Amino acid sequence: MRVSVPDESWQNVLADLPVDVIVWDGRAPQPEGRIDLAVWPYTLDPSDMAAVDASRIGLIQGQSLGYDGVAAVLSAGGRYANAVDVHEDSTAELAVALLLAAVRDLDVFGAQQAQGLWRKSWTTSLLDRRVMLLGVGGIGRRVAARLDGFGCEIVRVGSRARDDEHGHVHGTDELADLLTTVDAVVVAVPLTPDTEGIVDAEFLARLRDGAIVVNVARGRTAVTEAVPAEAGRVRYASDVFDPEPLPDGHPLWSAPGVIITPHIGGMTSAMAPRIQAVVRGQVERLLAGQEPADVVVDHRDAPGS
């Protein structure tokens, strides 16, 4: 069995398994022959996959949870698995950090520190606040768990209304009315045709004065141009943007009440052991003749495969 890894740091991860490990960073020419599993570099955009002959790779294992754009570029015969249980906890951690930073004006106090100013002011709190969780999947569930104990009311919104072990989930068809009732929204939806641009001018306009939007989903879930018009009335703390990187001189850089992090939700010390466990699990499944886990794009039946 032949496995490609993005760099030398992976060599010891699979050293005890009966596999032939080669290094391929996704940018260099594709190695000759068949690769049974290729670990796709975390830093490469899915568009770089367009140059890959996926029919000669049994499975491409991504290191990201999101996989928007992969289906459009993966060639016939290819399969792609996303990285489940790798980034969810760290992204949820950042979502709560951004929410707390916005609630307690930590960006304001940080700016004061840079100027050597000791200036007290009252802030809001999560206590007694109503927080909408827009998206109840892997990241959303972990955000909800971390908010438990902060003394806020959680309003969960998913693609459809339903009840589960944690209570009621509202459907997105109720979103317009619900937005007028909440003090904060954490956006943690996958990027789909239904969620693209969901945070638009109408969404923001329906929020109360002083409300907070935290976005840890995908950049295209928000209409970036709509945010500056509401900045100051509504606070916006986001790890994801459209486009990325956010260009020099973009209005968001200087908009009041905006907190920006450069898409680093999963970039923590927790990532390496988790993605390594995912890859080892896939290799062990393939060695045992089993189907790989978490395949989200499968073009084996596509024309030309």
Query: Cis omega (within 30 of 0) on the bond before 29?
Result: no
Known catalytic membership, residue 119: no
pLDDT at 305: 61
99 and 229, same domain (yes or no): yes
CATH number at residue 288: 3.40.50.720
* Distance separating alpha carbons of residues 195 and 288, to the nearest angstrom: 38
Query: How big is the CA angle at 30 (ends 245 and 280), to the nearest 5 degrees?
Result: 80
Q: Which structural domain range is residue 225 located in?
A: 87-260
DSSP state of 104: T
Catalytic: which of 168, 244, 284, 300?
244
**Count of domains observed in the chain:** 2
Q: Dihedral (C-alpha) 134, 192, 40, 276: value to the nearest 10 degrees? A: 30
Catalytic: which of 2, 233, 263, 280?
263
Report if residue 305 sits inside a domain: no
Dihedral angle sign, alpha carbons of residues 58, 63, 68, 70: negative
Report if residue 150 sits inside a domain: yes
234 and 277, same domain (yes or no): no
| Cβ atoms of residues 54 and 34 within 8 Å | no
pLDDT at 155: 98
96 and 13, same domain (yes or no): no
Report if residue 122 sits inside a domain: yes
97 and 82, same domain (yes or no): no
Residues (pLDDT < 70) of the chain are 304-305
Catalytic: which of 79, 218, 220, 235?
218
133 and 22, same domain (yes or no): no
27 and 92, same domain (yes or no): no
Report if residue 256 sits inside a domain: yes
Task: State whether residue 195 is helix, strand or coil.
Answer: coil
Report if residue 304 sits inside a domain: no
43 and 145, same domain (yes or no): no
Report if residue 208 sits inside a domain: yes
230 and 97, same domain (yes or no): yes
Tens of pLDDT, residue by residue over 48-67, are 999 999 999 999 999 999 99
pLDDT at 11: 83
pLDDT at 304: 66
pLDDT at 34: 97
Known catalytic membership, residue 233: no
